[in-house]
Amino acid sequence: MITSMTGFGTAKGTVGAQRLSVEIRAVNHRFFNPAIKLPGSMAQWEGEVREALRKRFSRGHVSLSVRVEQEADRTLAIDEQKIATYVQQLRALKERLGLAGDIDIATILRLPDVLSAGDEDGVEPDAGSVDELLAVVHDAANGLDLMRDAEGARISEFLHEHLRVIETALARVRERAPGRLVEQHKRLQTAVAELVGGVAVDAQRLAQEIAILADRMDVSEELNRFGAHIAAFRAALDEKSGSGVGKRLGFLIQEMLREANTTGSKANDAAILTDVVAIKEELERLREQSENVE
């Protein structure tokens, strides 16, 4: 079944000593367009995360963000030697420039590399592995897929419903088309008779002209092709794989619009033109929804 490109998924897990949450949001886009935001400690794995998303999603703008919720218990280690160096440099600068004020501890602690984080033994905690991160990413992607599948089912129902509306209008056009040719035939004979004013007319030549007119106004081929496009559209909606369906639906809608325009230009009939306008409105609704199909 078809899949929407819109959805949201989230998951939580651990990577090394860190507890984190992953959020994935997706909206429609012509191509696969990822946006990945990782914490600094995991920035080196962006390529692997991007490739994992590429394998899961063929189209759409996919935004992934990872937020660290809780890190391992750490103690703050104070570098006393670095503090001593900073104090010595600040005092020298104060005397040399004649600066007023005291050097307080709050100012010192804000200077670079004065504080460092580690566990109780002074050893950096386990940073984890890319496989641990990808496991959480896949859990979030599974949640996104569930929402995309549910939205895809709603879109499919919408598209099927409006296909039926189009088919009903096409049936009216198909029923009206032969009668319109007969009416045009009679109208042409009447017009010719009025023009010649009782003078004999070559019946064979008149029949040829009427045949040419009928051929120009015949829309049976357009209606047959339109029906074939609808069958292909419906088959694409019902495919089990659902891979790359969105682009195919867009192409079929373009072809149906082409047939509708040709039918309208050849119609020369108010009733048929009314149905053609209604069909084109329905095709626009199909196009808007199909743009959200992966």
Return the pLDDT at 104.
Answer: 79
Rounded distance, CA 80 to CA 58, Å?
A: 54
Return the pLDDT at 177.
Answer: 81
Return the pLDDT at 10.
Answer: 96
- pLDDT tens track for 162-182: 999 999 999 999 988 877 767
Return the pLDDT at 211.
Answer: 63
Return the pLDDT at 158.
Answer: 96
- pLDDT tens track for 5-60: 999 999 999 998 889 999 999 999 989 999 999 998 899 999 999 999 999 998 89
Q: pLDDT tens digits, the chain, 294 residues: what are they?
A: 789 999 999 999 999 888 999 999 999 998 999 999 999 889 999 999 999 999 999 889 999 999 988 665 555 677 788 888 888 888 888 888 877 877 778 788 778 777 665 554 544 556 789 999 999 999 999 999 999 999 999 999 999 999 999 999 999 999 888 777 676 666 666 666 666 665 666 666 666 666 666 667 788 899 999 999 999 999 999 887 656 799 999 999 999 999 999 998 888 788 899 999 999 999 999 999 999 998
- Enumerate the β-bridge partners of residue 21: 12, 67
The answer to whether 5 and 60 are in contact (CB under 8 A) is yes
HSE-CB of 249 using CA atoms within 13 angstroms: 32
* Other CB atoms within 10 A of residue 228 CB: 14
Return the pLDDT at 212.
Answer: 64
Return the pLDDT at 60.
Answer: 92
Q: Exposure of 197 by Cβ count < 10 A (0-12 exposed, 13-18 middle, 19+ buried)?
A: exposed
Rounded distance, CA 6 to CA 265, Å?
A: 38
Return the pLDDT at 81.
Answer: 84
Return the pLDDT at 35.
Answer: 96
Rounded distance, CA 144 to CA 140, Å?
A: 6
Rounded distance, CA 167 to CA 278, Å?
A: 11
Task: Find the DSSP H helices in 16-104.
Answer: 46-56, 80-97
Rounded distance, CA 184 to CA 210, Å?
A: 9
As a residue count, the chain comes to 294
For residue 71, the one-letter residue type is E
Return the pLDDT at 280.
Answer: 96
Q: What does the block give as tokens for 77?
A: 């280690």
* pTM of the predicted protein model: 0.70
Rounded distance, CA 53 to CA 23, Å?
A: 13
Task: Find the DSSP H helices in 197-219.
Answer: 203-217
Return the pLDDT at 207.
Answer: 65
Q: 102 Cβ partners below 8 Å, 6+ apart?
A: none
